[in-house]
Amino acid sequence: MLQLENIKKAKQRLDGIVSTTPLTKAPLLSAKYNTQIYLKKENLQITGSFKLRGAFNKIASLSKQTRELGVVAASAGNHAQGVAFSSQYFDCDATIFMPEATPLTKVSGVRSYGANVVLEGANYDEAYKAASNYAKQHNKTFIHPFADDEVMNGQGTIALEILATLDDIDIVIIPIGGGGLISGIASVFKQLSPSTKIIGVVSSGAKAMKESFETKTPIDSISVKTIADGIAVRDTTPKMLDYVLELVDDIIEVNDTEIANAILFLLENHKLVVEGAGAVGVAAIMHNKIDIENKKVVLPVSGGNIDVTMLAQIIEKGLVKSSRKMNMIVTLIDKPGSLMQFTEILKECDANIVQIDYDRNSVKLDFGEANVTVALETKGYEHQELIREKLNSNGYKIKEFN
């Protein structure tokens, strides 16, 4: 495991640079699951993610001559911003390779710190290959996002902050992509609080590390697809698997729907904007993947750099799932007054129309028919049942959709 002395040195380098992020109890989660749940809010870090810690520590550990040659990184966004911020601080050139589908908010964040951005590859691993080749060709230092001891030492400072505030921790639940965050945090806990159980969480769409952990041999995925882009790592690095096998007690997985539910829960109930990777621990708790009853649990909320478009989609789907929004298509007779009769029923039900579309030209319609697509703001499941009953009793056939 990583040496505690080196993680403490990293903390000294980071003092005055990174924020000591809040560690606060999550009252609603704690009450709901009969336990004590604490959130380590790295989404409130300067660059919106824990990645700044590792990137800054690595670049700070380089000689001035090495820094002057420039640094290169590959990242889906958070590590990129950490490298860009750190390079600006040390006044060294930075070139960041990012997957072509990286959200605009993360690309803009990297460029705002003065780094050169190259969009290349369908995923992190393809961007990594291009960045690695570029660094070798131009004699620049490649700053690996996770498979580097100084990077992991930086991430381990999160654990030092947690233990400076809280003791007798039973479980720490940590996101896993490449394994750098969990290796850094777990190294501290295994040396200072060995009874604490370390559980990793992967996305079902990027579970190479989980499969590798279970078979104890590196397994790569053919492809990755998940809304948790911060942990969308396709391949397992053997070095990182060694750390994980030594330090981690268990790894579980959550799917995109579960992650989206957790993002919306944190936004609504804890007023936290959290990206997919940062929400996987909460998703695991909300969907009963881990036994935490009567335990003291800490979850690092690893980042908050979520694309606004993605957040809008999650909110929309969440409203439908929680019966606060109802989308339907109703076929009417295309004649004067038909639409008014339909909307009068909705008015009687106290349903608020937020969007409506009238289509009489679809080839799927019979002559003399029209489709009305309507989105309603509703007040829960019972309210929606009332709307369905009223429409059905008046002869309307409705087709609901998400």
pTM check: above 0.85: yes
- 58: domain CATH number is 3.40.50.1100
Residue 135 has a pLDDT of 97
Apex CA 4: angle with CA 197 and CA 83, to 5°?
A: 95
Question: Are 36 and 163 in the same domain?
Answer: yes
Same domain assignment for residues 243 and 215: yes
Nearest Cα residue to 138 out of 120, 116, 154, 107: 116
Which CATH number does the domain housing residue 331 bear?
Answer: 3.30.70.260
Task: Please check whether residues 181 and 199 belong to one and the same domain.
Answer: yes
Q: What is the pLDDT of residues 208-252, one digit of tens each?
A: 999 999 999 999 998 889 999 889 888 899 999 999 999 999 999
Half-sphere exposure of 191 (CA within 13 A, CB side): 17
Q: Can you give the pLDDT at residue 178? A: 93
Residue that terminates a domain, selected from 295, 317, 339: 317
**Mean pLDDT calculated for residue range 306-335:** 92
- Provide the 10 A C-beta neighbour count for residue 113: 19
* Span 131-143, pLDDT tens digits: 999 999 999 999 9
pLDDT tens by residue, 286-305: 999 999 999 999 999 999 99
Strand pairing category for 250-254 and 197-203: parallel
Q: Do residues 134 and 270 both lie within one domain?
A: no
- Give 93's pLDDT tier (boundaries 50, 70, 90): very high
Together in a domain, 135 and 152:
no
Task: State how beta strands 325-333 and 71-74 pair.
Answer: unpaired
Domain end point (choices 278, 294, 317)? 317
Whether 45 and 55 share a structural domain: no
Residue corresponding to tokens 């335990």 = 295
If one counts the domains in the chain, the total is: 3
pLDDT recorded at residue 108:
87
**b/e per residue 281-311 (b: at least 16 CB within 10 A):** bbbbbbbebbebeebbbbbbbbbbbbbeebb
Q: Given this model, what pLDDT does residue 402 score?
A: 83
| 3-state secondary structure string across 43-74 | HHCCCCECHHHHHHHHHHHCCHHHHHCCEEEE
Domain that holds residue 96: 51-142
Which domain-ending residue is among 257, 287, 317?
Answer: 317
